[in-house]
Structure 1
Amino acid sequence: MQKKLGAVFVTGPAKLLASLTPAWMNLPVWVGLILVYYILATLLPVDKIIGRVYPFFGALLLVMAIGVAGAMLVQGYHIPELTLTNMHPKNAPIWPLLFITIACGAISGFHATQSPIMARCARNEKYGRQIFYGMMIAEGIIALIWAAAGMSFYGSTQELAKMLAPGGAGPAGVVKEVATTMLGAWGGTLAVLGVIVLPITSGDTAFRGARLLIADFLQWDQKPLVKRLVIAVPLFAVGFYLTQIDFNFLWRYFAWANQTTAMIMLWAAAVYLAQQNKLHWVASLPAAFMTMVTFTYILMAPEGFKLAVQVAYLLGLGLAMIPVGLFAWKVISTKNPVPAPAKKTAGV
């Protein structure tokens, strides 16, 4: 999943940057430059690049989001009231598409896999709630600001959807037009850069997280550069190949992989909680729900097995009962807690 995520967050920011620069700085050029940055951020120690640029990236993201929100208020933009009009595509079942389409809004496997990086950087465990809950709220507020800006600028969700659809300006064009109109040329450019920060910082940590996960699994010391390269080079080769695939297809597949990763992380947490005789339902119930979602989706999806909807419903439910049954049999029946495994780190 990490490779798919990295590829998704190469194409998106590259399109935005290409829209701001001269013609010779086209999409392939920006894809190459972003991949070079990802390679350096993946291979070098976290305090050499990521730790130095992230504070500036974060400040730019927050300041520009506040600037867009302020422009809407000062310039008198009206946020249209949402109606109960059903905008879901015809012949597309709401279950389970709703929980896959909202890729990170439902539950984010990507954020779960990034937690080891944050844990390595935090000085004290008590900062965990501030870091993870705080950034969850901050990201949600930023998303709401840009959603409100798009709807108020174009007048309705329908008009915004037309601009985002094929044949319209697309996401990059919408962000650029809204930002430059509300904040002027310089402010708009900074606002666009603030938006670009989100996928850029997701992509570099996706590749870095993939390297660390593989290193932890193989128990490879990551201090020697050669061992980092052995893992990173294949990752970037696959990532570059994925950028050549149709973005819409890649995004849908990423969305499913994201939710699948979240489901796996939830089961892992549920097993740990049950073995420690703690309240496992906070993880096991969402895990069971997301298991049915992910299994059912991939059975019916165009990028999956393309089964009929009713067949996918029945087969997805049946397959989801397998991990649920294994959890109930192997874990809930276990009375004695299992000691937590020793911590293994592959280096930051």
Structure 2
Amino acid sequence: MSAIVLLVLGLAAMAAGYLVYSKFIAEKIYRLDPDFKTPAHEYEDGIDFVPTNRFILWGHHFTSVAGAAPIVGPAIAVIWGWLPAFLWVVLGTIFFAGVHDSGAIWASVRNKAKSVGSLTGDVVGKRARSIFMIVIFLVLLMVNAVFAVVIAGLMMKFSSAVVPVWGAILVALVIGQLIYRRILSLPVVSVLGVIALYALIWVGPSVPIQMPTEVMPGLSGNAAWILLLFGYAAIASLLPVWMLLQPRDYINGLQLFIGLIVLYGAVVLLNPTLVAPAFNTDVPPGTPSLLPLLFVTIACGAISGFHGLVSSGTTSKQLNRETDARFVGYFGAVGEGMLALAAILAATAGFASVADWQAMYTAFGSGGVTAFVQGGAYIIHNGLGMPEATAATLLTVMAALFAGTTMDTGLRLQRYIFQEWGEIYNLPWMKKGAPATLLAVGSCLLLAFGAGGADGSGGMIIWPLFGTTNQLLAGLTLLVITVMLVRLRRPMWYTLAPLCFLLVMTIGALLLQLRTFYEQGNIFLLLMDIVVLIAAILVAMECAAALKRSRAEVAAEPE
């Protein structure tokens, strides 16, 4: 089958979802009000609460939620064939992710920009809040620890990516000053920023920076990069959002779209064939069943609980008008769906033959970023004539920059969690930014080096549980939104149906993983799985109780 057909069908469906379905959800279900005074204006402080142009905010939101996950998940899931991955990405983007992301922004904005974890206590109950906060902490711990390993690994493997990855930070700092101080208009700044970013990508191969394999006794090069990344992220999480977070995310959003145009354009010109089967019946030994693992393997790109943390953690504090939630939240999900679609195309059409594809997918979990970079570089090289090494650097930098922006936001969100715990348990010192940031960084480093040893790869140990934990978090967010809709006497099925689907798939996946971990003798992951499974069952019970209680309260109220 031609890759162009898949490309056109996917983009057309997502465009229709944004133009039609998101408008219906925004106007009839959430009823976004352009005159509502958002928290960005009510609590404006120039640090976290900053009214922001919706295009810049879209860039922040999109690149924060995207990361490497919409590349990794789909590029692994195609081991079951391209059709299941394609359908889940497209339908998940339209009916799950867009509704979830824009709804989380709306729910937070309507409640003083509280995070969805804190909001759970007000909307659902204190028991649900306790579960939520634990799940949120686990997800952020996984994301921050693992993405540090991913970025460090990319810089160790591709020394040509070091200058573009770190140089992008300087570009963002300059752009932040130009925009905030209104020295230049946004279109001019955008053009200059993109030129600077791609100039760095061009310079990168000429100035490779290779970290020594061993920096000093007991400290590997990989571990040194991880420490530097967390040092940077700690500083970035305390800076005003307009100074680094917003411009870094905005310019990375632009470079992603340029990267997508390059990759999509190469697909159109080359017209490659999908060498992978639509349904792969000859999967490698040990590959788990498609149902329900597909729906937790592809999280970002279809629906992801991490998006709810960003939507209610940083995005809601910067929303200029409530109606911007549709563009920022729903279209942000569409942008991620487009990236996931590109990953599917690269991982299925970026190989010369079925044998080459099978050589990449020798076991469940293979593929990932490597399949995206190699497959995408193959398509760009043969479609546009760009040197394959340059195309590989372009895609590597894209993946590393997205992982970096997600890590920036993730550590800031983890700092918010510790500050919220300070509020809940009346610990004044924990409410302050610096101590909360130190706790956030310390917990990540404890996992990275405590569980992973001297190379700092501890996050990878619990990464197999990310998909299920992340989807459980998405279910909790949808629960909060659904209860709010019930109390407002609005239709709830548009959020309740995705909620029920996610809970069923998550609990099923946890049960399958439980057996796998037991057979492998992995006691640590077995115990972690049991914890998450208990949380999932409690969430299901809280869902039923909260909805029953809310519907009874509404029925008792006069119309």
- TM-score band by shorter chain is 0.7 to 0.9
Q: Please state how far the C-alpha of 1:107 moved relative to its aligned partner.
A: 2.2
Within 5 Å, which residues of 2 pair with 1:317-332?
Answer: 322-332=541-551
**Quick one: which amino acid aligns to residue 549 of structure 2?**
K
Which deviations, in whole Å up to 9, do the C-alpha atoms of 1:173-201 show, x marking residues without a partner? 44444455523244432332112222211
State the Cα distance separating 1:261 from its structure 2 match.
Answer: 0.9
For residue 280 of structure 1, report the CA deviation from its aligned partner.
2.2
Q: Which residue in the other structure is 1:282 paired with? A: 494
Matched, 1:24 2:212: yes
Alignment of 1:98-109 (within 5 A): 98-109=294-305
1:146 aligns with 2:343: yes
SS at 2:553 equivalent? coil
Structure 1 Cα separation of the partners of residues 479 and 307 of structure 2: 16
- Partner of 1:104: helix, strand, or coil? coil
> How do residues 119-268 of structure 1 correspond to structure 2 at under 5 angstroms?
119-155=316-352, 159-160=356-357, 162-163=359-360, 171-178=368-375, 182=381, 183-184=386-387, 185-216=389-420, 218-219=422-423, 227-243=432-448, 244=452, 245=457, 249-268=461-480
Task: Check conservation: 1:100, 1:106, Cα contact below 8 A.
Answer: no
1:272-302 alpha-carbon deviations (Å, 9 max, x no partner) = 1112222222223332332333334334422
Which residue of structure 1 lines up, in the alignment, with residue 180 of structure 2? none
Deviations 1:8-58 (A, max 9, x none): 221122212221112527422322222222112212111121123222212
Query: What is residue 238 of structure 2 aligned with on the other side?
Result: 43
1:113 and 2:309 equivalent? Answer: yes
What residue in structure 2 maps to residue 345 of structure 1?
A: none
C-alpha deviation, 1:326, in angstroms: 1.0
Report what 2:553 is aligned to.
334
Percent of aligned positions that are identical: 22
For 2:441, the aligned partner's letter is F
Greater CA drift, 172-181 or 262-271: 172-181
Give 2:140's aligned residue.
2
Q: Is the 8 A contact 2:486 2:492 kept in 1?
A: yes
CA 1:259–1:225: 2 relative to 1, 3 Å:
closer
3-state SS in 2 of match to 1:253:
helix
The 1-side partners of 2:241 and 2:511 are apart by: 39
Letter in 1 for 2:411: F
- Report the CA distance shift for 1:218/1:306 in structure 2 as closer, same or farther (over 3 A): closer
Task: Quote the Cα distance in structure 1 between the aligned partners of 2:340 and 2:354.
Answer: 15
SS of the equivalent of 2:300 reads: helix
Distance 2:505 2:334 in 1: 25
- The TM-score with structure 1 as length reference comes to 0.80
Residue 70 of structure 1 and its aligned partner are, at CA, apart by 2.6
Could you tell which deviates more after superposition, 122-131 or 286-295? 286-295
State the one-letter code of the partner of 2:155. Answer: L
> Deviation at 1:255?
1.3
Contact 1:61-1:197 at 8 Å conserved across structures: no
- CA distance in 2 between counterparts of 1:288 and 1:235 reads 32
* Segment drifting more, 147-156 vs 115-124: 147-156
Residues 277 and 337 in structure 1, CA contact (< 8 A), matched pair in contact too: no
Residue 333 of structure 1 aligns to a residue whose secondary structure is helix
Long gaps (5+) in structure 2: 1-138, 160-209, 214-220, 518-524
Moved more, 259-268 or 321-330: 321-330
1:64-101, Cα deviation, whole Å (9 max, x unpaired)? 22222333444564333643333666583444323222
For residues 269 and 155 of structure 2, the distance between their equivalents in structure 1, rounded to whole angstroms, comes to: 28
Pair 9,161 (structure 1): closer, same or farther in 2 beyond 3 Å:
farther
| TM-superposed deviation, 1:165 | 5.1
Structure 1 gaps, min length 5: 339-348
What residue in structure 1 maps to residue 279 of structure 2?
84
Counterparts in 2 of 1:247 and 1:156: CA distance versus 1, 3 Å? farther
For residues 225 and 216 of structure 1, the distance between their equivalents in structure 2, rounded to whole angstroms, comes to: 8
